[in-house]
Structure 1
Amino acid sequence: MYLKESYRISPKMICISSIFDRQGNHYSLVREVDRLFVVTLPPLKVIDYSIRCNGYNLKSALDTAKWLLGKNHLCPIVVDPIEQIILFPTRSRFHEDNIWFNPDHIKRTFFLRARTLILFMNDLSFSIPGQQSSFNHKLTTADQYKRLTVGPDRYPITQYLVKKQRLLLKLKKEMNKAEKK
């Protein structure tokens, strides 16, 4: 496992949780689809940094979620509307045992001995304490929030610009190939 000084959340991120070193420093344990590493910042700072890279901050993301969902506790948040990254917490965002999950990577959940077993799309699994129904409710809320905020119909102008940019890149590549011949 390796150490990173900063990290911007990507679509490959499965979950992020707290970890402490022997001196009590608060770090983040990040699990991506194909790797696991530690970031020398707490999860909320990593999340806030990732959101700030998109022009707003954690507080505004939470305020928007509370406003749209009409609830004040354990709201999912939009981290990146362009990449369509949503995260949801398992506990209060200030609790040391809180884990933030990306719902896109969750394939299925099971209840096993007073714990929820989470099976991810890459066939890894993760176990957390608590009821499966409670976790599934948070997962469903996150999925609904994603459809409400960053679903395919939410950003038509952005999608148009992305498609246009891809088309221009494709045309440029074809022109370069034609010039080489």
Structure 2
Amino acid sequence: MNLLRDYKINQETVLLTGEYNENGKLCTRIIEGEETFLVDMKPIDVINSTMLTLGSDFNAGRKSSREILGDIYMCPIKINCNLGIWLFPTKSYNDEFCIWFSLTHVKKTKSLGIRKTEVYLSFNHTFVINMKESKFNQRKQAAKELRDEMTKNSQGMMTFYIEPKKGLSIREGEGINRYRIRK
């Protein structure tokens, strides 16, 4: 089995989850496009590493999500707003077998009984999870709400700077109030 040393989440990343390799080390199973492979990192480390290259990190992403959605349990996370990459978990992020689904790649779901759901994904993948369909769809909906709110917030009003007609004259002085401003 080919084991990648590093991986960055991208637009073709369908999902990631924890999986032990043949040596018993926790790695990350990635489904990307039509391929699947293992990465020699924990799932949270893959997410964090990707976010660090984009100027954030996992903890800041969780904090932002909770600021927008409220103090929800197992909140979704924005990876890249411009590329439309939003992930949502099936379990606590501390759970080694938490599955992180990419919102854009979840097409539909089907209940397979009391606690089983079949998730239909892009690239004709299906994934059966041990979770009620309604609970899965609640998590998916939270990711949509986060996406919509962050997209709206990032398209804020444009502001223009207008050069004032009269300038200020500022001089540095001594003491506590060091600056003198004259119009």
Structure 1 CA distance for aligned equivalents of residues 133 and 37 of structure 2: 27
3-state SS, counterpart of residue 30 of structure 1: strand
Report runs of 4+ in structure 1 exceeding 4 Å deviation.
Answer: none
| Structure with the greater alpha carbon radius of gyration | 2
1:27 aligns with 2:27: yes
5 Å-filtered alignment, 1:61-72, equals: 61-72=61-72
RMSD: 1.7
Determine if contact 1:77/1:86 at 8 Å carries over to the other structure.
Answer: yes
Deviations 1:23-68 (A, max 9, x none): 3211000001221111000000000000001111111000110111
Determine if contact 2:18/2:99 at 8 Å carries over to the other structure.
Answer: yes
Determine if contact 1:116/1:132 at 8 Å carries over to the other structure.
Answer: yes
Deviations 1:138-163 (A, max 9, x none): 00110111111136x73479xxxxxx
Structure 2 CA distance for aligned equivalents of residues 86 and 78 of structure 1: 5
Determine if contact 1:16/1:28 at 8 Å carries over to the other structure.
Answer: yes
3-state SS, counterpart of residue 124 of structure 2: coil
Structure with the higher fraction of residues in helix conformation? 1
Once the two structures are TM-superposed, the CA of residue 96 in structure 1 deviates from its matched residue by: 1.5
Structure 1 CA distance for aligned equivalents of residues 95 and 122 of structure 2: 27
Structure 2 CA distance for aligned equivalents of residues 122 and 38 of structure 1: 18
Counterpart residue number, 1:82: 82
Structure 1 CA distance for aligned equivalents of residues 146 and 47 of structure 2: 18
Counterpart residue number, 1:146: 147
Determine if contact 1:106/1:119 at 8 Å carries over to the other structure.
Answer: yes
Query: Which blocks of at least 5 consecutive residues in structure 2 are unaligned?
Result: 158-183
Counterpart residue number, 1:12: 12
Once the two structures are TM-superposed, the CA of residue 81 in structure 1 deviates from its matched residue by: 2.2
Determine if contact 1:107/1:121 at 8 Å carries over to the other structure.
Answer: yes
Letter in 1 for 2:86: I
TM-score (norm 2): 0.80
Say how many residue pairs are matched. Answer: 156
Structure 2 CA distance for aligned equivalents of residues 47 and 92 of structure 1: 14
Structure 1 CA distance for aligned equivalents of residues 100 and 116 of structure 2: 17
Counterpart residue number, 1:161: none
5 Å-filtered alignment, 1:93-172, equals: 93-113=93-113, 114-150=115-151, 154-155=154-155
Query: Which blocks of at least 5 consecutive residues in structure 1 are unaligned?
Result: 158-181
Counterpart residue number, 2:49: 49
TM-score (norm 1): 0.81
